[in-house]
């Protein structure tokens, strides 16, 4: 009766269980947090690539709230699923290991943390450019979350729920095309939310985004200046680079190509993300974040809230990702 790493998250349970049962249908998987879950539409990407003659069948396994640490756990879980067809995995570089402290102690958050993920977090957090108090606090949060998961502190009702009700979880979260993509536009009108107040929060975030133009502009300007001020000589965070490379090598060992995505509208400062992203191996990078190249991602029409795109924006990002992917795969094919 061992619990999988996603037992506390109903959406992730649904997605992983679906993937396990249907793994032979897919040869590409997207990992990440909400920026991938809500932005990357496998249907759009598959269509573009298939039109170009590539055998590309993808599934979006990303889940809300995942940072780079949980992505690593997802990757391990994904690689453990038998799927000889799996050729491509997409790994998002969109966050450091910080998270909303409000998520602490929730089964969803606690279930994601093992000794391994805690060690990953403890390796990165001390190297981040924040004050000592913040770093110590988050190190503590990771350790306490791991202990809570280890001893299932206060989590037993959720464990019982997982064992007894996992087959009844709402399938809507697989998306209309059962590919794991579920934009916020669908979420706001979804009446079966895990937490009843979430629909209010989502709608409020949208309202604030539409009405608060100064905050919108300020966030976009911050991102523009991060890109403008970036220099090749900027030093990447070594611990984050090491983690990403560990992921890359793990996949390579299994004959899987890992692509790194730099998505738009990340909460984490791009001055931290860009150097890490640029350190990744050539031919494995998909960048869709630069507001100078992709101004539409930062326009109100394409946004859902400050940090997420709407359905229209997600479609646009998926097309841009697909175009870059075609180019990268073409290079690979030509090289071969």
Partner 1 sequence: MYLIDVHGYFLLFLSADSNGNQILGMLFNSLHFLLFFPIFCYLYFSVPKKHQYKVLIAGGYYFYGNFSPFFAIILFIITCNDFFSAKMMDREDSQQKKKKWLYLSMLGNLGILFAFKYLDFVDDNIRALLQVFHIVWVVPEPWFNTWIVPVGLSFLTFQSLSYTIDVYKGLTKAETQFGYFAAFTAFWPVMVNGPIERAKNLLPQIRQTHDFNYDNMRKGLIRMTWGLFKKVVIADRLSFYVNDMYSHYNEVSGWTIWMGAFFFLLQVYCDFSGYSDIALGAAKVIGIDVMENFRRPFFSKNLADFWTRWHISLSTWLTDYVFFYLGAYKASSIKVVFNVIFVLALCGLWHGANWPMVISFTMVGICMAIRYLWQNNVVKAIRPSNIYSLFSRYFPGWAHSILTILIFLFCFLLFRVYSAQVTINHMHPETYTEWTTIAGSLYGKLFHLLSANYFKELILIKGIIAFILLIIFIVILFLTEALIGDRKIEDVLLGQDRIQGWSIYAVLLICIIWFGIFNNTTFVYFQY
Shortest Cβ distance from residue 283 to partner 1 (Å)?
A: 43
- Write each residue from 138 to 177 as x if it is in contact with partner 1 (CB under 8 A), else as -, in one continuous string: ------x---x--xxxxxxx--xx--xx------------
Strand partners for 303: 309
Nearer to partner 1, 104 or 136 (CB): 104
Options 80, 81, 104, 210; binder of partner 1; rule CB under 8 A: 104
Q: Output the DSSP codes for 208-248.
A: HHHH-HHHHHHHHHHHHHHHHH--TTPPP-HHHHHHHHHHH
Nearer to partner 1, 10 or 23 (CB): 10
Residues 6+ apart with CB under 8 A from 214: none
Contact 95, 136 (CB under 8 A): no
Shortest Cβ distance from residue 164 to partner 1 (Å)?
A: 6
Q: Give the start-end residues of each E strand in 26-105.
A: 28-30, 58-60, 88-92
Tokens standing for 4? 């999988």
Residue 105 touches partner 1, criterion: CB under 8 A:
yes
**Segment near partner 1 (CB under 8 A), from 12-20, 99-107, 218-226, 234-242?**
99-107
Shortest Cβ distance from residue 101 to partner 1 (Å)?
A: 8
3-state DSSP of 167-197: HHCCHHHHCCCCCCCCCHHHHHCCCCCCCCC
Shortest Cβ distance from residue 158 to partner 1 (Å)?
A: 8
Nearer to partner 1, 109 or 298 (CB): 109
What distances in angstroms separate CA 283 from CA 79, 129, 286, one per listed residue? Answer: 22, 29, 9
Shortest Cβ distance from residue 198 to partner 1 (Å)?
A: 10
Shortest Cβ distance from residue 139 to partner 1 (Å)?
A: 15
Number of residues that bind partner 1 (CB under 8 A): 22
Shortest Cβ distance from residue 257 to partner 1 (Å)?
A: 40
| Secondary structure letter of residue 6 according to DSSP | T
Residue 191 touches partner 1, criterion: CB under 8 A:
no
Residue 102 touches partner 1, criterion: CB under 8 A:
yes
80 vs 265: CA distance, rounded Å: 31
Which residues would be at the binding site for partner 1 (CB under 8 A)?
Answer: 101-102, 104-105, 144, 148, 151-157, 160-161, 164-165, 195-197, 200-201
């Amino acid at each position: 009766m061992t619990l999988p790493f996603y037992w506390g998250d109903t959406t992730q349970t649904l997605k992983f269980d679906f993937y396990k049962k249907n793994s032979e249908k897919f040869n590409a998987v997207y990992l990440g947090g909400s920026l991938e879950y809500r932005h990357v539409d496998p249907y759009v990407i598959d269509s573009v690539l298939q039109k170009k003659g590539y055998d590309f069948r993808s599934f979006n396994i990303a889940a809300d709230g995942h940072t780079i640490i949980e992505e690593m756990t997802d990757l391990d879980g994904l690689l453990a699923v038998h799927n000889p067809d799996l050729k491509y995995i997409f790994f998002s570089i969109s966050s450091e290991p910080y998270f909303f402290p409000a998520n602490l102690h929730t089964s969803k958050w606690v279930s994601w943390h093992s000794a391994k993920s805690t060690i990953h977090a403890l390796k990165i957090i001390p190297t981040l450019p924040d004050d000592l108090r913040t770093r110590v606090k988050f190190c503590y949060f990771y350790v306490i979350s791991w202990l809570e998961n280890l001893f299932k502190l206060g989590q037993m009702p959720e464990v019982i729920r997982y064992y007894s009700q996992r087959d009844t979880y709402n399938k809507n979260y697989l998306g209309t095309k059962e590919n794991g993509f579920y934009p916020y536009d669908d979420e706001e009108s979804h009446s079966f939310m895990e937490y009843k107040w979430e629909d209010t929060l989502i709608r409020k975030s949208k309202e604030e985004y539409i009405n608060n133009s100064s905050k919108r502009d300020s966030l976009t300007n911050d991102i523009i200046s991060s890109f403008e001020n970036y220099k090749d000589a900027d030093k990447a965070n070594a611990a984050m680079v090491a983690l990403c490379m560990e992921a890359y090598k793990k996949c390579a060992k299994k004959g899987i190509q890992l692509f790194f995505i730099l998505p738009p509208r990340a909460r984490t400062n791009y001055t931290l993300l860009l150097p890490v992203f640029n350190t990744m191996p050539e031919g494995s990078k998909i960048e869709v974040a630069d507001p100078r190249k992709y101004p539409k991602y930062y326009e109100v029409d394409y946004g859902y809230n400050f940090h997420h795109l709407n359905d229209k924006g997600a479609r646009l990002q998926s097309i841009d990702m697909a175009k870059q992917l075609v180019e990268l795969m073409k290079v690979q094919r030509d090289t071969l």
